[in-house]
Structure 1
């Protein structure tokens, strides 16, 4: 008999992905569609149900134990409620877990996407073998998930780990959450893109001045820095400073054995590692200075692997 599997689903503001997953973290073929961002919860739930049906059909006779659903938030994994999705229209206290369970006939676990990614990296990626870690994803925004003493840190309503909204500069730029000077407003990919566009508009000399057909992005900054562009190098140095300052707070708050950095901006972690380390050495208390900051190993699939892990755990399956 074929070993039981689960279906892992990742709901993002841009794309919706689903795949079959085993208890060893292996993922099958990933099916991807564009999220109906303007269609409201009913349309998106229908998309999830359709993707689950496709994966289920491709699984043939393989027993399916349940669905592990990773979603942007904020959300409450205990009640299965999504409070709001800033990038999607019409989401307000949506009982997403129960809606998907009712329409698929399968048990569903729901977890924040950054926590799901933290679990995936912990079980199968850069966090294997440790009992405490902090995972940070640096992309459009900054999110995070924390594992302490072998357990997910959830907190009230499962809302712990919103590390991107630590205030690092009280009079700093306004964040999407409404606050000023959040880590996300200073060091996310969105912030990085804003900073370089401001510098270019002010006439800074850079190869990036030749990009005129679209907004300059964080990826452009990293590519320019790799090519030795002075402005790209300067801006990445500033990014490393803010990332390092934020990481110091994570070290002091959670005392992890490892800090894992994922998301698109982390692709330039090799260029920023020295700057991040310098901030840690200058600002962290001595017992925290040896904690490594490492790149995520699973890339964009960490959330799917984590969602699958949580679905297996809910089904009582012992993981390797």
Structure 2
């Protein structure tokens, strides 16, 4: 069995897995993501430890041969799939990650943006399998994205395509961490969901009574998953907050449809766990704001299927594909 190691580096965890040709994860390893002040060499030590653990599992349990290592990183990755230009959660700045890991590991190494790897996984094994034109939008603390056309990831001239979260949707709007104002992720992300709920609580709105009771009045305990769970349990205010996020999501998707005209949008990331509570209002807003509505085909808007492991599955499969192409 041909295996590849996939590693997904997120804001809170580093998740690794042994992945077979069918996209099945057959062994796993996990570490906490180091603080952003941690030196690059220490982070690389951690990644090597994940590789070693998974390689040992493959050999110990006779699972198959490892052919490549794929890394999915949150941040800007150069078009060479080698250098992490900028990573918001780590100290990497123009970090030659592929070169450094290749010197310490026995396999070819490929680095990509985590949204690209998740999109690839959903196209190969998940919600948009077989679709020729795909745009993925990952809703987490911020918004990441990816573009895939005819089986080829569209990384852009400099490798930084798909940073949809920083499209400006409200001129002069809420300040974003990127330095600009009115970015899409300030209105349609997990951070936006929590911020809006906190604003209701801070205003002592009676509409937020149930949410306030759930957190005991401590705003620091409020999380996006908590709001989603409350909405699923019938809390009308939580459902309204999700619908607002969904409406902003649909607005941004209508803009992306103008730019890319995909056959399908696949929505991933932690906020996508809200399912139809998010996607139904997103589709409604999308239809209302789509240019040429009523006279053009509409892209499907679907929920990602592979959950939190999409990034590592896609990273592994992209790395395997790159090795096979070189061999061919």
Structure 1 counterpart of 2:73, from 25, 49, 71: 71
1:50 CA displacement: 1.1
1:208 CA displacement: 0.8
* Aligned partners of 1:165 and 1:182 also within 8 Å: yes
Q: Deviations over 1:120-145 (max 9, x none)?
A: 00000001011111111101111011
- Counterpart CA distance in 1 for 2:177 and 2:200 is 21
- TM-score between both structures, scaled by the size of structure 2: 0.91
Structure 1 unpaired stretches of 5+: none
1:79 CA displacement: 5.2
Provide the alpha-carbon RMSD of the alignment: 1.7
- Counterpart CA distance in 2 for 1:198 and 1:289 is 39
User: Does residue 41 of structure 2 align to residue 35 of structure 1?
Assistant: no
Partner in structure 2 of residue 156 of structure 1:
157
- TM-score between both structures, scaled by the size of structure 1: 0.94
Pairs within 5 Å for 1:1-320? 3-37=1-35, 38-60=37-59, 62-78=64-80, 80-88=82-90, 90-205=91-206, 206=208, 207-210=210-213, 211=215, 212-213=217-218, 214-284=220-290, 285-286=292-293, 290-316=298-324
* Aligned partners of 1:7 and 1:67 also within 8 Å: yes
Change (3 A) 1:175 1:289: farther
- Counterpart CA distance in 2 for 1:250 and 1:50 is 39
- Counterpart CA distance in 1 for 2:81 and 2:69 is 16
Structure 2 unpaired stretches of 5+: none
- Counterpart CA distance in 1 for 2:325 and 2:308 is 25
1:230 CA displacement: 3.2
* Aligned partners of 1:84 and 1:91 also within 8 Å: yes
Q: Deviations over 1:260-292 (max 9, x none)?
A: 111111111311333112212211123556322
- Counterpart CA distance in 2 for 1:234 and 1:26 is 37
1:7 CA displacement: 1.1
| Range 6-15 or range 220-229, more displaced | 220-229
